Structure 1
């Protein structure tokens, strides 16, 4: 006898229970995080507003931001298979995870997960530059790793206000396997735990930590790439530009050592995914954006308080900074700017305008528009989800990294050739 088919009524019943469960989880997360964020918001907004406006501004940014953050837990309703993969990686640490919750700075969110396709079972605990907090897992790889790989440092998005590295673990798992690289997924302070300069500082610390430790995971410190999605792309770009401006500034004996340690010198290239690089432009865009019953989301978005108010829009906008740059000796790594042409959250004109400002400043830049790709699709692509633009997005990233590997190989070959020539000359001289 064949088993009876599940009736439509039973299917609807199961779907209803799943929906209720997801909504309950989202509701609980919303209430818990709202209570915590309420006090953080008040402290942060005191830097930006008059006391009489404090109460209402605190309520507005707290409840709206946490409502958006809680909606992330509804992903199983939209992308059940992707959500299942995220859950599996969270519960079961796969072989690619060679370091989890490694500490790179003093703040509780200063942690990073490292992924490598050739990751092996732990032999011993890795001694880090900073003492890891309880629960961190840093694993020493095998000593026989010879081929060094490019390293991708990934900064997640989340409207400058939410997101966590565990939600983006699939970026590390998928790209490390698909591209044969080392991927570091970074946690950093988000608003209201910190403002945009705190975020930049955290990314700087993360890059320095990766540069110091990546060889332990088979990574090449001369091939570190910084990447980010959405607000993470903005923070990453701002980090490199501010660092480059300090290097290009007035030179003195006192500044020389500081400039040698600037992170812009450690980064081979930048790969931006759907970033809002001009805060003023994005504020106007959000004021005209319709989301459900909302006619404009600019006043509930965490962006304005996260960048310390409208008066600081320009100084925190990579596009505006590059448009006004006066330093002839400014030197940035190559910028590769990817953006989906169907993006309704951050328009592709943001990346196009940023690329134009970099080109005007005589910097190396490549603007890569992706047809048929939304704001969500581009991040789902690097998570390995089978969206229509996945292969194109990943192939672009592969070509960027491959060109770097070829460049490094050519430099090594040239250096070895010179060394061999010098040795031959010495040998002839002895004869």
Structure 2
């Protein structure tokens, strides 16, 4: 299940590269395999890495007023939402239902977190989630709130980490995500997941990376070769919002690579037309008041997919911003249209699960309403 644009999500299932558990064996029960000393060592290593990469990134950014103003706004935004973030952090570090930093590859960021339901009464549907972060600040823990809430509905969530810029460029990110997805397909049965019900979901930059990875897999299967929707239209837009042209092009490996990593452009290539038939059903969710990635991007991508025979569905949320659907609304608790759509898509063919969903209690509010409204006003996204 992939989500495009902070509010744009895309749902699809795939049954490739899976390994089944031996007959008669039981799924591994979730457990906290992380010792305190291991956590400290891992945190120290990541702190060193992040510090070094931060200084490298600062050399790229210089003293541009746009990104500095957005950095300040990001700090204020995070402080306003801190009551909710602290509760999610406590769950992330201390819940027995979270297994952190499972290794899926040989790169420093090739780690994923697994969020488990409280019961293990049979194979569970699985969501592979790829976080956003402008290709620069993505981190697997950003998916903890989603992981917690989906786990409450009997869904296993695998939150993938991947190399960010400047540690890696777009091809590295796509490679990492593809490897993480393959790991889930090959191993999730050992953790109680159902390999026949795996969904890929991405948010913001994670949606773009996920779409690239999914299209690459389809191309590989159709031809035996490897190869935001249309990056060509986003260069100037991102520059005006603080992600300067030089940084954006460095992340995307130069202007000549933009068409390669623009799914809406790539899918139109006649040489890979057969790949479209291998794409899963896709749902794009987007807020109409998203100014970071305008909803026109999802509309154009849905149109491009439809023209090559894919089956996209586009859901627009009037008045929703880049962060409303993924942060403010979930932190608000109660009814959440995006969450309800995601659950309905995953449980579409499971009457028992749908009946449980209908009886589920309202989700708990994590942040007072005045703080949420102030955060929305100063959000840098």
TM-score by length of 2: 0.71
Secondary structure of the equivalent of 2:234? helix
Q: Higher relative contact order at CA 8 Å, sep ≥6: structure 1 or structure 2?
A: 2
1:377–1:387 CA contact under 8 A, matched in 2? no
Secondary structure of the equivalent of 2:324? helix
1:115–1:183 CA contact under 8 A, matched in 2? yes
Report how far residue 400 of structure 1 moved.
1.1
Moved more, 211-220 or 331-340: 211-220
Residue number in structure 2 paired with 1:281: 233
Relative to structure 1, the CA distance from residue 208 to residue 33 in structure 2 (aligned partners, 3 Å threshold; closer, same or farther) is closer
Residue number in structure 2 paired with 1:373: 320
Q: Is 1:212 the equivalent of 2:213?
A: no
1:184-223 matches, within 5 Å, as 184-223=158-197
Residue number in structure 1 paired with 2:306: 359
1:160–1:302 CA contact under 8 A, matched in 2? no
1:339-358 matches, within 5 Å, as 339-358=286-305
1:358–1:365 CA contact under 8 A, matched in 2? yes
Residue number in structure 2 paired with 1:149: 124
Report how far residue 170 of structure 1 moved.
1.5
Relative to structure 1, the CA distance from residue 373 to residue 319 in structure 2 (aligned partners, 3 Å threshold; closer, same or farther) is same
Residue number in structure 2 paired with 1:224: 198
2:53–2:167 CA contact under 8 A, matched in 1? no
Relative to structure 1, the CA distance from residue 241 to residue 311 in structure 2 (aligned partners, 3 Å threshold; closer, same or farther) is same
2:267–2:273 CA contact under 8 A, matched in 1? no
Equivalents in 2 of 1:237, 1:198: separation in Å? Answer: 14
Residue number in structure 2 paired with 1:95: 96
Equivalents in 1 of 2:121, 2:213: separation in Å? Answer: 31
Equivalents in 2 of 1:30, 1:146: separation in Å? Answer: 38
Report how far residue 62 of structure 1 moved.
6.6
Report how far residue 78 of structure 1 moved.
2.2
1:120-159 matches, within 5 Å, as 145-159=120-134
Secondary structure of the equivalent of 1:372? coil
2:288–2:295 CA contact under 8 A, matched in 1? yes
2:238–2:245 CA contact under 8 A, matched in 1? no
Secondary structure of the equivalent of 2:285? strand
Equivalents in 2 of 1:105, 1:240: separation in Å? Answer: 18
- 1:278-326 deviations in whole A, cap 9, x for unaligned? 1111113234x4x5xxxxx352674321110112111110111113344
Match for residue 315 of structure 1 among 215, 237, 260:
260
Equivalents in 2 of 1:316, 1:404: separation in Å? Answer: 34
Secondary structure of the equivalent of 2:182? helix
Equivalents in 1 of 2:264, 2:340: separation in Å? Answer: 26
Equivalents in 1 of 2:325, 2:246: separation in Å? Answer: 22
Equivalents in 1 of 2:349, 2:270: separation in Å? Answer: 27
Equivalents in 2 of 1:305, 1:396: separation in Å? Answer: 36
2:60–2:247 CA contact under 8 A, matched in 1? no
Residue number in structure 1 paired with 2:331: 385
Residue number in structure 2 paired with 1:122: none
- 1:60-102 deviations in whole A, cap 9, x for unaligned? 3376699667865544422132222233234x421321x2111
2:135–2:164 CA contact under 8 A, matched in 1? yes
Relative to structure 1, the CA distance from residue 359 to residue 350 in structure 2 (aligned partners, 3 Å threshold; closer, same or farther) is same
Report how far residue 363 of structure 1 moved.
0.5
Relative to structure 1, the CA distance from residue 32 to residue 212 in structure 2 (aligned partners, 3 Å threshold; closer, same or farther) is closer
1:109–1:187 CA contact under 8 A, matched in 2? yes
- 1:371-409 deviations in whole A, cap 9, x for unaligned? 221111121168x31179x61101111121122557xxx
Aligned length: 301
Equivalents in 2 of 1:363, 1:66: separation in Å? Answer: 38
2:282–2:312 CA contact under 8 A, matched in 1? yes
Report how far residue 218 of structure 1 moved.
2.0
Secondary structure of the equivalent of 1:226? strand
Relative to structure 1, the CA distance from residue 70 to residue 170 in structure 2 (aligned partners, 3 Å threshold; closer, same or farther) is farther
1:322–1:358 CA contact under 8 A, matched in 2? yes
